[in-house]
Structure 1
């Protein structure tokens, strides 16, 4: 066992690769992830919605693909964050757990890029959230009008402001 660890370590050093353990990481989607935070999974980006950038890592299984659609919307908890660098590339991997016995490795930047995580910075999702927020404001405004808290002219004025915002 010790020989295997020594061999792995010398291969990494010989290839100019080093790993750095991080307490937090600010990702390209603008979110700062910390150990203990949850990451909400999106749809897998591979064939049949399998996850390409999250794979099983346990003592018994290494590198197994996750083929289940059941992970969509599922929260995995960050246990460790590691940055790997070599002469050409940098990769940040999260060791995450989902409440079962297996741990998973999550290539966070690739998962963000392909929306395998919910907070992927997808502009369509942001537009949808703005539209939902706009309609929620209108609904509350109408409730205020119906209850007599505001007048019809106040309602019309505020409605116009809401509808004209963020166009």
Structure 2
């Protein structure tokens, strides 16, 4: 009986793990939330998750001519120089390539290559989804992210954009535009 219970537990545990791990098959990545990413897909850029509004999980591709590398970092921030700029929020980019990195033993991290012209960017797709750096349908949002977004009040949103304005990230015009959007929400 104990062996049967153990086998059943391992089977159920294995099923639940397989449903949450990303899968890469036939040039299509199915993320842990079920969102499918493939070459040619249009991805809409969300908002950056770094304090200044730049993107933490979308950055200049390591093989790009425009990639900044330094042992000391850029103004003390190693990732900052290569981060995707906040001015890209709301734009749409085509997926050029899906790139799994890692190995079976240690696991994989999936990157998506996007870009325009000479500059290419790589996106840690799982974290970009988790932190809202790309916009995907609600049904594919991580559950905790959807719950956080739903519980955020107008006051919280106004406070957040006021902080961005005070930090110089948003201009007066951008602040007013965002404020009007928030006030028009139901």
Tell me which interval the TM-score lies in, with the shorter structure as reference length.
0.5 to 0.7
Distance (Å, rounded) in 2 between the aligned partners of 1:59 and 1:43: 23
Q: Spell out the pairing of 1:20-99 with structure 2 (5 A cutoff).
A: 23-57=27-61, 59-62=64-67, 64-66=81-83, 68-86=85-103, 87-97=105-115, 99=116
Mark the CA change 1:125 to 1:23 in structure 2 (over 3 Å): closer, same or farther: farther
Comparing both structures, which one devotes a greater share of its residues to strand?
1
Report how far residue 124 of structure 1 moved.
5.1
CA contact (8 A) 2:60 2:84 kept: no
CA contact (8 A) 1:48 1:67 kept: no
CA contact (8 A) 1:21 1:81 kept: no
Q: Could you list the per-position Cα deviations for residues 73-129 of structure 1 after superposition, in whole angstroms to 9, with x for gaps in the alignment?
A: 1111111111122322310011112x332110111001111111112714259869x
Q: What's the TM-score once normalised by structure 1's chain length?
A: 0.55
Alignment RMSD? 2.7
Mark the CA change 1:65 to 1:113 in structure 2 (over 3 Å): closer, same or farther: same
Q: What's the TM-score once normalised by structure 2's chain length?
A: 0.50
Distance (Å, rounded) in 2 between the aligned partners of 1:82 and 1:38: 16
| Count of matched residue pairs | 108
Mark the CA change 1:55 to 1:124 in structure 2 (over 3 Å): closer, same or farther: same
